[in-house]
Chain A
Amino acid sequence: MDPISYYLQTALNGVLAGCVYALFAMGLTLIYGVLNFVNFAHGELIMWGAYFLFLFMGEPFGLPLYAALPPALALTGCLGIAMDFSVFRHIRRANRLTLLIAAMGLSVFLRNAAQFFWGAEVRTYGLEVTAGMRILGLTLTTPQIAIIAVTILCVAAVYVLFFKSRLGKSMRALSDNLDLARISGIDTKRAILAAWVISAVLAGIGGILLALDTNLSPEMGVINLIKAFAATLIGGVGNLWGALLGGLLIGLAENLGVLFVSPSYKDGIAFVIMVIILLARPYVIIGERSD
């Protein structure tokens, strides 16, 4: 492989990882924007999304991939709603620490539940391994093309929803000021519900894409949540486009890092970026809005 393709391929790997991080980060930042807390159980939405697809593709359903997708995503959306109904709705007005700990507890519970049903071992969807296509000296597989295409589609859909629809406007209003939105007659319940569904579905889509490209394990949510969180911080918490950009940046940084630094620091790179951002923009923690 010539040096230019070598670096281009690395950059492409970075973009692919970044697309998935961006999908996670957008969902995370959306909940933050509307409800003003970091959902640490977001990683479990990622993981459960992937496992729901596994469920419908396996016995007794045995559905092909395309047919298993809609019910899997629907269930992931339901899980998002269930999270809100079972836990977060009751502590809407609690302080952030309470919400944070509740989310962490929920995360552990959901991870253990997945482990209970499917075991701790790694699984795959059992799709045939195929050699990637060669495009301009770069290798790209079908799931990877899907990652890029689906990310673009999701970003477009989110754009239309947020900036062109009534529902999106009400969510944005909520994100600005919950009380003000409520007294201006906005149906806050509906908007919060929509935020959970969108956040969960984005996480589910990302989880499925990731699992299609690699494989599934009950732990897959945890590590990706950290990447998503770092991406969210880079982009400014609550900022959808920032999350997209942040995800791509993290993906690129960690993959290019493999070439120049030791690969054993791959995850560390996301942490370092996160810490720098926290130091440079501490209002993320104090709670002032960054957008």
Chain B
Amino acid sequence: MKKLAALVAVIAVVSTAAAPPARAADTIKIGAAFALSGSIAVYGEGFKKCVDLAVEEINAKGGIKGKKIEIVYEDNKSNPKDCVTAVRKLITVDKVPVIFGPAGSSNFMATAPVAQENKVVLISAQGAAVGLTRAGDYIFRVFPSDTLQGPHLAKLAMSKGYKKVPVMYVNNDWGLGLKNAFVDAYKKMGGTVTDLIPYDEKKTDYRTELLRASKGNPPAIVNLTYINEGAVQFKQAFEMGIKTQWLCGSAARAPKMVELAGKAAEGVIGTYPSVPQNTKAYQAFKEAYKKKYGDDKIPIFGDYNYDMVYLTAKAIEKGGYTADGIRKALPQVAKGYKGVTGDKTFDDERSPKYAEYGIWTVKDGKIEDYKK
């Protein structure tokens, strides 16, 4: 029995060692640690479609210096642990120099140090958390950081005449980052933050937090919340008879939030990074998407994924197919590059320098653009 086991082990070792080397050099391989199963797989599918679309377009035009792009998809199962496993696999087995990172700030941040240590470029197309790219100089994003959203939210509060507000926020990387960005900007504009109320995710009862926020009946409360948390909070505030203007960030802007909160979400307003869809580039992208998938509804953040592929391809073309080449070329090719999601010029933290922000609201049970 022992001999048999040893034999099996030997065969296993030999066969892995003798496995043919990755089809070298005839394709340009890019890793993608996407959520293809698990709780946010619904997003992952959409990202994949948009990435595939961009790759198909680039390959149809001759690829990168004659070589076709090939995306190596790895399922990250929507949780930080498997995200790390997926990224490690892409680095060690597929030996790709660049990886499209997982969605979800906590997922991405779990993998960023791994990529940084291995000196592999990791790019996010949907992370807004302020500290997302801080793991090091190999980590990039094409989605605007909340350092940009904070001032917009402060401006919104000031323009509505709210000079004193309490701030509630979800106590994680995203909430804390946006809170700091908001508070800094708001104070500079002359506003006063009356109370700071951090709270945990995934709780079911926020009544006492709400009670504390509503102390002294503030005309407006800033609440940097998620879909589920926001739904519970608006519902409970409604039940408690708290009448205030809720000011939110982008993470609560979802039909699911309105579905869960019902009429309690009516009138909530908030900021979000908006992509002007009337541009020529966006229309062309939409048209191509419709042609390929027969659907004109662009998946959420799909446009950012699309831009990410083009930017990466440009960087490989300019800097060569190595991690260091891509890392150095990315800011150069991004400078002034107008993607479907706007100007992709990077700032010092390897995040987009510019972003446009819109204001959303809930009206008659639907998420709409806010009109004064």
Which residues of A pack against B, CB within 8 Å? Answer: 1, 6, 9-10, 13-14, 16-17, 120-122, 124, 128-132, 134, 139, 141, 210, 213-215, 217, 219-220, 223, 255, 258-259, 262-264, 266-267
CA distance A220 to B241 in the complex (A): 26
Besides A122-B231, A263-B208, 12 other CB < 8 A contacts?
A: A1-B215, A120-B38, A122-B227, A124-B260, A129-B238, A129-B262, A139-B240, A141-B239, A210-B204, A215-B204, A215-B228, A266-B200
Assembled-state Cα–Cα distance A122/B233 (Å):
14
Report if B287 contacts A (CB, 8 A): no
- Answer whether A214 and B264 are a contact pair too, CB < 8 Å, given A258-B209, A264-B198: no
Known A215-B204, A215-B260; contact A10-B239, beta-carbon cutoff 8 A: no
Most chain A Cβ neighbours within 10 Å, of B199, B236, B239: B239
Residues of B within 8 A of A134 (CB): 241
How far, in Å, is A149 (CB) from chain B's closest CB? 17
Contact with A along B204-244 (1 / 0, CB 8 A): 11011101101101000000000110011001101111000
Residues in A with CB closer than 8 Å to B39 are: 120-121
- In the assembled complex, which residues on chain B have CB atoms less than 8 Å from the CB atom of A259? 208, 211-212
* Tally of contacts, chain A with chain B, CB under 8 A: 92
What residues on A are CB-neighbors of B217 within 8 Å? 1
How far is B99's CA from A123's CA once the two chains are assembled, in angstroms? 34
Q: Which residues of the other chain, A, contact B264 by a CB distance below 8 angstroms? A: 129
Q: Are A263 and B239 in contact (CB under 8 A)?
A: no
Minimum distance in angstroms from B362 CB to a CB of chain A? 13
- Bound-complex Cα distance A258 to B203 (A): 14
Interface residue? B109 (CB, 8 A): no
Establish whether residues B241 and A131, one from each chain, have CB atoms under 8 Å apart when the complex forms.
Answer: yes
Do residues A139 and B239 form an inter-chain contact, with CB atoms below 8 A? yes
Q: Which residues of B sit under 8 angstroms from A13, Cβ to Cβ?
A: 205, 207-208, 211
Please give me the 7 A-B residue pairs with the lowest Cβ-Cβ distance, nearest first: A214-B204, A120-B39, A264-B198, A258-B208, A122-B228, A132-B239, A255-B208
Give which listed residue, B171, B200, B241, contacts A132 with CB less than 8 A: B241
Q: Is B197 a contact partner of A263 (Cβ separation < 8 A)?
A: yes
Asked if B328 is at the interface (CB within 8 A of a chain A CB), the reply is no
Highest count of chain A CB atoms <10 Å: which of B197, B200, B263: B200
**Min C-beta distance of A219 to chain B, whole Å:** 6
| Alpha-carbon separation in the docked complex, A17 to B211 (Å) | 15
> Are B228 and A217 in contact (CB-based, < 8 A)?
yes
A18 to B195 Cα, complex, angstroms: 27
CB distance from B79 to the nearest CB of A (A): 11
